[in-house]
A and B are shown apart, each in its own frame.
Chain A
Amino acid sequence: MTSVADWAEPNPVTENRSGVIGKGVDRYEGALKVSGTAPYAYDTVAPSPPAIGVLVTASIPRGRVTSVDVAAAEAAPGVQLVWSHLNAPKQAPRGARANPRSQRASNPALASDRVEYFGQTIAFVVADTFENARAAADLVKVEYAPEPAVVDFLASFDQATLPPDEEDVHIGDFPGAYGAAPVTIDETYFSPLQNHVQMEPCATVAWWEGDKVTVHTSIQMVKGGQHALAETLAIPSTDVHLLTRYIGGGFGGKGQPYDDLILSALAARALGRPVKVAYTRQQMFHGTIHRPAVSMRVRLGAEPNGRLTAFAVEAVTHCARAATFTEHAANFSRNLYAAPNRLTGHRLVRMDLPHAGPMRAPGEAPGMLSLECAMDELAEKLGLDPIELRIRNEPDIDPETGKPFSIRQLVRCMTEGAQRFGWERRNPVPGQVRDGRWMVGMGMAAAIRGNFLLPAKAGVRIDADGTITLRQGMTDIGTGTYTILAQITAETMGVPLSQVKVEIGDSDFPPAPGSGGQFGAATAGSAAFEAGMNLRRALTELAVGDPNSPLYGGPAEYVTFENGVIAIENRSETLAALVARAAPDGVYVEGSIAPAADARDYSQHTYGAHFAEVGVNMVTGEVRMRKMFGVFAAGRILNAKTAKSQITGGMIWGVGTALTESNAVDPRFGSFVAQDMAEYLAPVHADIVDLDAMFLDEADDKANPMGIKGVGELGIAGAGAAIANAIYNATGVRLRDYPMTPDKVLAGLMAKGL
């Protein structure tokens, strides 16, 4: 096992001789994507023409399927197969795990007559064409015995329980300190249910060759998908070849397999021909996971000088009845501000809704919407600038664990951001600034998101022409993974980018955990780096041991790799020449990374500060973002362009979270009201006017060998709160119920007599 101390040594990436690390190089697969030629799962050309499957979904939230009439569907043109729980092939029971090391358990489709949520798959139709399959799917007639369903979150708090294996965290004496505090805040904030609405719906193409199945699918975790399919079909995972080369967005919603994967594989086996299945846009809303609603109570007690003495963040959220997912909306607050007396915890309501699950920055994204507004409210009560209040509560060590920070530049993010944004223009008295019919205001919020490193492997080979190919069972969900892996490999091997190929999204390749939790770049990238270092060692040995090499007999520790050339001072040859001569079949090595043994001795996070200016229409209550700026500290930045795209993408989602994005549950039906992208309102271009971000110079040598950290989720953390605080500053109306739609804002304005 390694120690974080080992990572402090300089290495090719941290030395960055060619300068390609950090450069805003174009996306590796960008041309394919913008020209529409990147084959996403559904575009994959199967070895023979595929049949098309269409899902039929439940129209009640809970109960039993009492009858399925498939006669009309079976008789419809082109139909090859109609399945329900009555005749679907037998699969391993849900949750079964034949292989104890499997990364995912069995996930059968059409397993029983039980309906556990609206939109659950209850039948499946395969036909020769999509049109025929869809028309036949509409002919399947299902009858139900409905049962009472719990679907109204706000009305079900009495059913809330502690999440499994979890206790509240008490430090010091919160009730005592809160009771004694001269200045207090006690407010409850609500963040709604959200859907991922990835551009690409879940989709799979499957075919069999003998006992082996090949699936091209859209999933964030290669091994997870491979194992889930193998477990469900009760076949060895070596018989499942899973590919996921291009993914049109995941955001956590594709971290797990869905019925498209299982049913396409089963149907392809039954029919002896390739089968492809995609969810419709409408089916995505209920058939995949969502971010659950969260109600958060925040209590703060402070001295008149702003020092927090009592601090409590308590979250109530929900998940599906049979599941255990918890949106840990209070976790982030354990590491953010100093306060001696603390209480944090979660409660979970089990409901008969579709499955809740992770969505970009699970925990932080909804959680920070509460505390970062409460801090704004406290600052006003104390007559302090919100930045100053946060600085006064900046901890020296992790406020919960007492561990040292690996590095923490939150204060610099705030002060640098304030200067660049022009925070001094903000009038601390709300409701003072007008621009025609628009009331204008500014708000800020802090951002924090954990940083993680998971075990991963990578393989790298060099061919006789000098081409270096990185291979990894990693995914790129649109974040730029291809590109940063190419950059890391190029810099590690000292070759130009054009000499590097990246092949990912294949279960035959050395495994990486995939994209999620903003651990992708650090985890997959570090394994790629280690593989590269191993290739350097292998090529060094090859050169100094080859009598025909100019480096022959030289001291291995003086070998350098630069511009595609291996050298010991002025003795050199190209990598291509070396490999062509000494290893004409190429050289392949693997490398791996694992968390350091002492990694947990540090409190390790990424940080940021958001600044927002909004206009609020006095007539209508419409809120429009006018300007937004964020400053972030997230370790060494591998690619200025893709990192900024990630971080601003997160900020944009924050704008949507604050202003438009939510899905209402209709308690009468147990279903979501919005089921397409005309009604589920993510921001469009016109909503995002002037938005920019920058990164502070940083390298976190406790994080991994390259000193990089995640950026995929940090940008959304806190962003919505900055908007909410700006709305308050503009109007004097304090809303605590996201999203802040015109009806809520207008009601607030009217209550103020405006």
Chain B
Amino acid sequence: MRPFTYERATDAQAAVKAVAENPGARFLAGGTNLLDLMKLEIEAPTHLVDVGRLPFAGIEETDEGGLRIGGAMTNARLAAHPKVRERYPVLTRAILAGASGQLRNKATTAGNLLQRTRCDYFYDTTKPCNKRQPGSGCSALGGPTGYGAIFGASEACIATHTSDMAVAMTALDASVETMTPDGGVRTIKVEALHLLPEATPQVETQLAAGELITAVVLPPPPLGGQAYAKVRDRASYAHGLAMVAVAGGRVAFGAVAHKPWRAAQAEAALAAGASPAEAAAAEMAGADADDRRTHKIALVRRLAAATIEDAGSAR
């Protein structure tokens, strides 16, 4: 870890300015991801602006009948919120499927969305990794474990995004609200927040430097059932091998791509009256993987079919 300076932001605008004007500065929220990365010198900010105590840690109703979730609200409080549990059970379930109780007590809405990949080679600084060190190569490609994306991967990077919360938010058609460096406010769909790796896997979202996530807005709950499923090696405290969130007619996958993956083909098939299995197969027709990862295509297809079925019988 490199030495760094620290300030606790008291207002959002000043925080945005502090980070936008200093290329070495980063926002700090719960710190559960960023500090780990700093200890390993995967990230080496020279200045941290702590936005964890800015006054947007609550939940409010929107005029449209949805909810506005503060960017600094903890994952634990969000998952437990009665309005979320009642109207967006897929979100509660997704959050509770992630990390551990201790981590969820610290982790925030914005930090969770912006958590970086768990790719083993991203974490091992002795290995080439285009995301960590652009141009050095991708060690996960051809690695022994069968890790990697099955949608939208590139030669440069096959990393997956493994936020559980973001998968549910994608299925719920949520948007993030940001404060931009010029003081403006911007709204971005969660499904459009993250980018595919292409040739620049180090660029992970469409946020500008210093752009602050202030809230996530959920539209009114969709008609129809909601369901969340996560496959993992152990029963808790493990990143997903695959996740599926279903909310009404919307379907999203996790741990399959560089971003939470909206399963548009599956949705279209469902809208056209396809069965859950057919809808899952429609999406998986677009999946692509090398030999070591083909098992994952089968896994996601089966999980998607089962979860769509569960959502159908959930209401």
A residues adjacent to B (C-beta < 8 A): 59, 77, 118, 131, 134-135, 138, 282, 437, 619-622, 624, 659-660, 664-669, 671, 673-676, 678-679, 681, 683-687, 741-743, 746-747, 750
B185 adjacent to chain A (CB < 8 Å): no
- Indicate if the CB atoms of A619 and B234 lie closer than 8 Å: no
- Indicate if the CB atoms of A686 and B236 lie closer than 8 Å: yes
- Indicate if the CB atoms of B144 and A622 lie closer than 8 Å: no
CA distance A282 to B242 in the complex (A): 26
B14 adjacent to chain A (CB < 8 Å): no
CB under 8 Å from chain A, chain B span 28-45: 39-41
- Indicate if the CB atoms of B126 and A686 lie closer than 8 Å: no
- Indicate if the CB atoms of B231 and A675 lie closer than 8 Å: no
- Nearest-neighbour CB distance to chain B for A356, whole angstroms, equals 19
Contact of B234 among A666, A669, A673, A687 (CB under 8 A): A687
CA distance A77 to B2 in the complex (A): 11
Binds A, one of B116-124, B171-179, B212-220: B116-124
CA distance A681 to B239 in the complex (A): 11
- Indicate if the CB atoms of A622 and B232 lie closer than 8 Å: yes
- Indicate if the CB atoms of A620 and B236 lie closer than 8 Å: no
- Nearest-neighbour CB distance to chain B for A488, whole angstroms, equals 38
CB under 8 Å from chain A, chain B span 284-315: 295-296, 298-299, 302-303, 305-306
CA distance A679 to B145 in the complex (A): 12
- Nearest-neighbour CB distance to chain B for A20, whole angstroms, equals 38
What chain B residues lie within 8 Å of A673 (beta carbons)?
Answer: 120, 143-145
B207 adjacent to chain A (CB < 8 Å): no
- Indicate if the CB atoms of A619 and B124 lie closer than 8 Å: no
Residues of chain B at interface, number, CB under 8 A: 38
B55 adjacent to chain A (CB < 8 Å): no
B235 adjacent to chain A (CB < 8 Å): yes
Contact of B146 among A619, A674, A683, A743 (CB under 8 A): A743
What chain B residues lie within 8 Å of A686 (beta carbons)?
Answer: 234-237
- Indicate if the CB atoms of B120 and A665 lie closer than 8 Å: no
Contacts known (A659-B234, A687-B235); A746 close to B3, Cβ less than 8 A? no
- Indicate if the CB atoms of A138 and B298 lie closer than 8 Å: no
Nearest B-chain residue to A281, judged by Cβ:
B39
B186 adjacent to chain A (CB < 8 Å): no
What chain A residues lie within 8 Å of B54 (beta carbons)?
Answer: none
CA distance A581 to B41 in the complex (A): 66
What chain A residues lie within 8 Å of B120 (beta carbons)?
Answer: 673-675, 679
CA distance A68 to B144 in the complex (A): 31
Contact of A668 among B142, B238, B302 (CB under 8 A): B142
Nearest B-chain residue to A152, judged by Cβ:
B144
Q: A673-B144, A683-B234 are in contact. List 5 more A-B contacts (CB 8 A).
A: A667-B144, A668-B139, A678-B239, A685-B236, A743-B299
The 22 sampled A-B contact pairs (Cβ below 8 Å) are A118-B126, A134-B39, A282-B40, A619-B302, A619-B306, A620-B231, A620-B299, A620-B303, A622-B231, A666-B139, A669-B126, A669-B127, A678-B237, A679-B120, A681-B238, A684-B100, A684-B234, A684-B237, A685-B236, A742-B233, A742-B299, A750-B298
- Nearest-neighbour CB distance to chain B for A688, whole angstroms, equals 9
- Nearest-neighbour CB distance to chain B for A271, whole angstroms, equals 22
- Nearest-neighbour CB distance to chain B for A682, whole angstroms, equals 8
What chain A residues lie within 8 Å of B274 (beta carbons)?
Answer: none
B241 adjacent to chain A (CB < 8 Å): yes
Contact of B126 among A59, A619, A683 (CB under 8 A): A59
Contact of B295 among A659, A666, A684, A747 (CB under 8 A): A747
CA distance A437 to B234 in the complex (A): 18
B residues adjacent to A (C-beta < 8 A): 1-3, 39-41, 100, 118, 120, 123-124, 126-127, 139, 142-146, 231-239, 241-242, 295-296, 298-299, 302-303, 305-306
Contacts known (A678-B239, A686-B236); A131 close to B118, Cβ less than 8 A? no
CA distance A418 to B176 in the complex (A): 57
CA distance A660 to B237 in the complex (A): 13
CA distance A131 to B145 in the complex (A): 34
The 10 A-B residue pairs with the shortest CB-CB distance, nearest first, are A59-B126, A686-B236, A686-B235, A619-B306, A620-B231, A743-B295, A687-B235, A684-B237, A664-B144, A619-B302
CA distance A685 to B100 in the complex (A): 11
- Nearest-neighbour CB distance to chain B for A683, whole angstroms, equals 6
What chain A residues lie within 8 Å of B126 (beta carbons)?
Answer: 59, 118, 669, 671
CA distance A437 to B313 in the complex (A): 15
- Nearest-neighbour CB distance to chain A for B231, whole angstroms, equals 5
CA distance A104 to B235 in the complex (A): 42
- The B interface, classified by DSSP as helix, strand, loop or mixed, is loop
- Indicate if the CB atoms of B235 and A746 lie closer than 8 Å: no
What chain A residues lie within 8 Å of B144 (beta carbons)?
Answer: 664-667, 673
What chain A residues lie within 8 Å of B142 (beta carbons)?
Answer: 668
CA distance A678 to B33 in the complex (A): 12
CA distance A72 to B145 in the complex (A): 37
CA distance A676 to B2 in the complex (A): 21
- Nearest-neighbour CB distance to chain A for B1, whole angstroms, equals 6
Nearest A-chain residue to B301, judged by Cβ:
A619
What chain A residues lie within 8 Å of B235 (beta carbons)?
Answer: 624, 684, 686-687
Contact of B3 among A135, A685, A750 (CB under 8 A): A135
CA distance A29 to B210 in the complex (A): 51
CA distance A671 to B143 in the complex (A): 12
What chain A residues lie within 8 Å of B3 (beta carbons)?
Answer: 77, 131, 135
What chain B residues lie within 8 Å of A620 (beta carbons)?
Answer: 231, 242, 299, 302-303
CA distance A669 to B144 in the complex (A): 11
- Nearest-neighbour CB distance to chain A for B41, whole angstroms, equals 5
- Nearest-neighbour CB distance to chain B for A585, whole angstroms, equals 52
CA distance A238 to B85 in the complex (A): 66
What chain A residues lie within 8 Å of B234 (beta carbons)?
Answer: 659-660, 681, 683-684, 686-687
CA distance A622 to B243 in the complex (A): 13
Contacts known (A666-B144, A671-B124, A673-B145); A619 close to B303, Cβ less than 8 A? yes
What chain A residues lie within 8 Å of B306 (beta carbons)?
Answer: 437, 619
What chain A residues lie within 8 Å of B143 (beta carbons)?
Answer: 666, 668, 673
- Indicate if the CB atoms of B231 and A742 lie closer than 8 Å: yes
CA distance A742 to B143 in the complex (A): 19
- Indicate if the CB atoms of B298 and A746 lie closer than 8 Å: yes
- Indicate if the CB atoms of B303 and A135 lie closer than 8 Å: no
CA distance A271 to B124 in the complex (A): 32
What chain B residues lie within 8 Å of A59 (beta carbons)?
Answer: 126
CA distance A292 to B193 in the complex (A): 44
CA distance A742 to B146 in the complex (A): 12
CA distance A668 to B299 in the complex (A): 27
- Nearest-neighbour CB distance to chain A for B77, whole angstroms, equals 22
What chain A residues lie within 8 Å of B39 (beta carbons)?
Answer: 134
Nearest B-chain residue to A437, judged by Cβ:
B306
- Indicate if the CB atoms of B123 and A675 lie closer than 8 Å: yes
- Nearest-neighbour CB distance to chain A for B32, whole angstroms, equals 11
- Nearest-neighbour CB distance to chain A for B123, whole angstroms, equals 7
- Indicate if the CB atoms of A687 and B41 lie closer than 8 Å: no
Nearest B-chain residue to A119, judged by Cβ:
B126
CA distance A59 to B144 in the complex (A): 18
Contact of B236 among A131, A659, A671, A687 (CB under 8 A): A687
What chain B residues lie within 8 Å of A675 (beta carbons)?
Answer: 120, 123-124
What chain A residues lie within 8 Å of B123 (beta carbons)?
Answer: 675-676, 679
What chain A residues lie within 8 Å of B302 (beta carbons)?
Answer: 619-620, 746
- Nearest-neighbour CB distance to chain A for B186, whole angstroms, equals 33
- Nearest-neighbour CB distance to chain B for A403, whole angstroms, equals 43
- Nearest-neighbour CB distance to chain A for B156, whole angstroms, equals 18
- Indicate if the CB atoms of A135 and B239 lie closer than 8 Å: no
- Nearest-neighbour CB distance to chain A for B3, whole angstroms, equals 6
- Indicate if the CB atoms of B236 and A741 lie closer than 8 Å: no
CA distance A665 to B143 in the complex (A): 10
- Nearest-neighbour CB distance to chain A for B155, whole angstroms, equals 17
- Nearest-neighbour CB distance to chain A for B121, whole angstroms, equals 8
Nearest A-chain residue to B232, judged by Cβ:
A622
What chain B residues lie within 8 Å of A743 (beta carbons)?
Answer: 146, 241, 295-296, 299
- Nearest-neighbour CB distance to chain B for A146, whole angstroms, equals 12
What chain A residues lie within 8 Å of B100 (beta carbons)?
Answer: 684
- Nearest-neighbour CB distance to chain A for B249, whole angstroms, equals 21
